[in-house]
A and B are shown apart, each in its own frame.
Chain A
């Protein structure tokens, strides 16, 4: 499928690039030292950090992947938001931000160093740095593949151009430049995709027309009538819903372990909140971000649901059909196919710019997190300890270049050896799965020790790998999908296997951390742990703060609205 761009579309795209680079250019004068470059001087108001927080997370995997899931699984995809994001975002704001922002830590690994010990920090810093480079490489690869497929642009040129643009604006303006661009990208994505939803709903006859046709989608795939339009009703058994998961695995695996692990410990998002101007602003950041996040299902999942609904009778009555790959539908092409169908030249340029923006915000988020962790937690800790600030600033800038270079290498590795990237991604998933247990115990139990944390993390990672090696999703082959030790359990779907891998990893880490902590000596005094552990930290003063700006009030409000959404789409 090829999209023909017109003069107007190119004009919009070029203007966007001028603004992206222009922001970096203007901000370069404000970078005087490492604090400006890596932490944006801790001067940003909450709403900017919040949109950066959400913009960095709103990568292309989100936009294209959630639309693909919307077509594949229907409204159940909303669990990734209303269960798998909002509660964790409120938790990190209310309970965890005081330790991140209030302590001397400049990064998440550095918090681990202050709270536990050097080896726990080192483990986290190295795996995190590897993961960011790989994610940004995969974004880059996906962008170049997509632009090549739909526009016929040169693959290598797309890789080079996206790398150079991101490099230039981060190199010049550092974190602030990345965050400003994420805010711009956020609005671009909202305004670029909203018309798609509106036009799609109009064609299909509104919500009523959509659910009627989704009923046809469900029955033709052998599921109950409401399988695509109910989020909870059919999760009593894994066989009656398209995701192939039951409610407990969903709530525990996705809603607790995976989502809290990501939103509460991933430096990529935490870094945005830590750039805020005050403790209050840092705590409000994830909560303000939760408001748009809560509404994103309507922006990114709905297009997928509309696409499959229009496609259901082979597209004959609606004039729209999804592209196929082999003998199944190519869900990854949902967004481009919808853009090509509904957007005329003009709006098409806007939609395409929004799509490219989403790839770049994901890349830039990873690169800024990488250069910070590399400089503070690896270079300054293990390579050169007492250099001048100007030296570390230069290291940070060159780490940006190196990070982009490594991303490009990853992009080509992904293009050439699909399997190596899949294996690496799996390994990182194992490392990540237990992380939240370590933070939870570290922040709320002062007796947790450095040895406990480190061996807990190792145990959790091994447990994740072992669980994956012993189980297999239905219909999959032994290998990268699991069962490589021996198959002792079959899961109804890959999703269910993922959720349960996370649950096992978390539990193993949680138990091992407690056991090892109890048998090892505590090395940090209460004094050293002040500001790092809940019981030893003074509650944030909120005397002068009006009620509508307090994190707890805002958090309860957002949870209540999320609950209502869950009930409405039950």
Chain B
């Protein structure tokens, strides 16, 4: 049993990113006025998390393909 740690990390951050960005698209803008200086941080940071998660997944999948070829 060999689990590549980048797999769960990539998956979790991708899910986090999608949820956060999705919430950022639909949530009432008032919460950003009240907290985060009027910036839609959920959308912005959600995209960052998704990018990080996808990169990790990419690494994990590439490593797996290489191992299979061997």
Contact = CB atoms under 8 A, between A and B. Distances in A.
B41 A199 contact: yes
Contacts of B27: 8, 344-346
Contacts of B24: 346
B35 interface: yes
B60 interface: no
Interface size class of B (residues with CB under 8 A): 20 to 34
Contacts of B39: 199
B45 A347 contact: yes
A195 B11 CA distance: 21
Contact of B41 (A27, A30, A184, A344): A344
A343 B36 CA distance: 6
**Which of A203, A342, A350 has the most C-beta atoms of chain B within 10 angstroms of its own C-beta?**
A350
A319 to B, nearest CB: 10
A58 interface: no
B19 A12 contact: yes
A346 B32 CA distance: 11
Interface in B8-28: 8-9, 11-13, 15-16, 19-20, 23-24, 27
A19 interface: yes
A22 B8 contact: yes
A15 B12 contact: yes
Interface in A171-207: 180, 183-184, 187, 191, 195, 199, 202-203
Contacts of A48: 5
A30 B2 contact: yes
**Which of A202, A347, A350 has the most C-beta atoms of chain B within 10 angstroms of its own C-beta?**
A347
Interface in A324-363: 341-347, 350
Contact of A8 (B11, B15, B23, B35): B23
B67 interface: no
A512 interface: no
A444 interface: no
B50 to A, nearest CB: 11
A341 to B, nearest CB: 7
Contact of A344 (B1, B5, B9, B32): B32
Interface string A26-37: 110110000000
B52 A191 contact: yes
B15 A15 contact: yes
Given A26-B3, A30-B2, A347 B42 contact: yes
A184 B9 contact: yes
A561 interface: no
Interface size class of A (residues with CB under 8 A): 20 to 34
A159 B49 CA distance: 30
Given A15-B16, A22-B8, A183-B9, A27 B36 contact: no
Given A11-B19, A12-B19, A346-B23, A341 B12 contact: no
A16 interface: yes
A521 to B, nearest CB: 50
Contact of A29 (B1, B5, B8, B41): B1
Given A15-B16, A22-B8, A30-B2, A191 B41 contact: no
Given A22-B8, A202-B37, A346 B15 contact: no
A23 interface: yes
Contact of B36 (A12, A23, A191, A347): A347
Given A15-B16, A30-B2, A345 B31 contact: yes
Contacts of B9: 183-184, 187
**Which of A12, A26, A346 has the most C-beta atoms of chain B within 10 angstroms of its own C-beta?**
A346
B32 to A, nearest CB: 6
Interface string A1-16: 0000000100110011
B20 A347 contact: yes
A191 B3 contact: no
Nearest to B15: A15
Nearest to A347: B41
B20 A191 contact: no
A441 B5 CA distance: 39
B21 to A, nearest CB: 9
A345 B42 CA distance: 8
A180 B3 contact: yes
A113 to B, nearest CB: 33
B49 to A, nearest CB: 6
A195 B2 contact: no
A363 B62 CA distance: 33
Nearest to A28: B1
B45 A195 contact: yes
A187 B48 CA distance: 13
Interface string A42-57: 0000001000000000
24 contacts: A8-B20, A15-B12, A15-B16, A22-B8, A23-B8, A26-B1, A26-B3, A30-B2, A187-B9, A187-B13, A199-B37, A199-B39, A341-B35, A344-B27, A344-B31, A344-B41, A345-B27, A345-B31, A346-B20, A346-B24, A346-B27, A346-B41, A350-B16, A350-B45
Interface of B: 1-3, 5, 8-9, 11-13, 15-16, 19-20, 23-24, 27, 31-32, 34-37, 39, 41-42, 45-46, 48-49, 52
Given A12-B20, A350-B16, 4 more contacts: A30-B1, A183-B9, A346-B31, A350-B20
Closest 6 CB pairs of A and B: A344-B31, A346-B42, A29-B1, A30-B1, A344-B35, A19-B12
